[in-house]
């Protein structure tokens, strides 16, 4: 009898465990980044450097545009985003992003968010870069109109290895949607394989609640890329595995990324277009 009661309690608890969280700014990524477990903040290789460590983009000269959009059919949320980055002048590099995120409010409507990010960076010498960035969030319900600041430093340890440190939302807005966090991460290129991992958490305000992002991409020739990754969100106790594909032709690329939440924590599918102008 006790065993039957235990099994029944597990079945009743499962819907609570399986409830997917709404999409947020940290979920609204490009398809390449979603496929790599959410890693991108310390790599500095894409236009979405606007949303990550603001210093990282100054390590690699590029002029890029990226567009992406995704939907999670479990949480009934979707988003669209665009990024632009110009680091051809490494003395002053810049990147900008805009996101629109929509989540179901449970009453037949939706909660909308507009998020803007602007980052500036400069390279000091051959191996070190510093950056500063800002983020502005506008939400319909509950109403939010707030801005905060990011700081970062990136180090090119060797041509194949980057190491970064960043602080996000260091101006306290008293909104959990813009919570403060500190990050350490790296990117490593080993032949046709790129590895990346990042961990971030607030510090000094209670126990650590880290968010881990780890991923890799494998280049099969010059045109085809396979991706995979893992994400763990300690604050909401959610675990994700990810996968992705990429096609590269001339100065553009098409990407598809998929993030699967274990125990029902959502299924996100993302498509993206990358354009390398210089």
pLDDT tens for 95-120 read 999 999 999 988 878 899 999 999 99
**Distance separating alpha carbons of residues 6 and 175, to the nearest angstrom:** 39
Task: State the DSSP string of 181-209.
Answer: EEEEEEEEEETTEEEEEEEEE--SSSS--
Beta strands 193-201 and 161-168: pairing type?
A: unpaired
Establish if 106 belongs to a structural domain: yes
Tell me what pLDDT residue 12 has.
41
pLDDT tens digit sequence for 212-222: 999 999 999 98
Establish if 6 belongs to a structural domain: no
pLDDT tens digit sequence for 109-167: 889 999 999 999 999 999 999 999 999 999 998 899 999 999 999 999 999 999 999 99
Establish if 184 belongs to a structural domain: yes
- Of 219, 134, 130, nearest to 168 by C-alpha is 134
Establish if 113 belongs to a structural domain: yes
Is residue 256 predicted with pLDDT exceeding 70? yes
Element (H, E) at 227: strand 224-233
Establish if 218 belongs to a structural domain: no
**Distance separating alpha carbons of residues 264 and 270, to the nearest angstrom:** 18
The domain of 191 spans 21-213
**Distance separating alpha carbons of residues 29 and 259, to the nearest angstrom:** 11
**Distance separating alpha carbons of residues 22 and 211, to the nearest angstrom:** 16
How many domains does the chain contain in total?
Answer: 1
Mean pLDDT of the chain: 91
Here the tokens at position 179 are 């919570």
Tell me what pLDDT residue 108 has.
78
């Amino acid at each position: 009898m006790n065993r039957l009661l235990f099994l029944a309690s597990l079945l009743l608890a499962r819907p609570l465990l399986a409830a997917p969280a709404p999409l947020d700014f940290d979920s609204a990524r490009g398809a390449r980044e979603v496929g790599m477990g959410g890693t991108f903040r310390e790599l500095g290789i894409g236009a979405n450097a606007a949303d990550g460590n603001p210093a990282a983009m100054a390590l690699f000269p590029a002029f890029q545009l990226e567009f992406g959009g995704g939907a999670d059919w479990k949480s009934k949320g979707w988003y669209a985003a665009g990024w632009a980055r110009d680091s051809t002048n490494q003395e002053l590099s810049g990147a900008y992003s805009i996101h629109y995120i929509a989540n179901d409010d449970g009453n037949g409507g939706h909660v909308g968010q507009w998020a803007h990010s602007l980052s500036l960076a400069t390279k000091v010498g051959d191996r070190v870069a510093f950056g500063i960035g800002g983020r502005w969030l506008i939400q319909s319900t509950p109403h939010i109109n707030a801005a905060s600041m990011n700081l970062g430093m990136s180090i090119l340890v060797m041509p194949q290895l980057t190491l970064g440190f960043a602080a996000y939302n260091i101006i306290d807005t008293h909104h959990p949607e813009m919570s403060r966090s500190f990050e350490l991460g790296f990117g490593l290129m080993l032949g046709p394989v790129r590895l990346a991992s990042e961990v971030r958490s607030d510090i000094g305000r209670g126990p650590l609640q880290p968010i881990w992002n780890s991923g890799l991409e494998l280049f099969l020739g010059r045109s085809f890329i396979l991706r995979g990754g893992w994400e763990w969100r300690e604050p909401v106790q959610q675990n994700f595995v990810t996968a992705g594909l990429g096609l590269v032709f001339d100065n553009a690329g098409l990407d598809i990324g998929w993030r699967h939440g274990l125990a029902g924590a959502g299924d996100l599918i993302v498509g993206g277009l990358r354009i390398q102008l210089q």
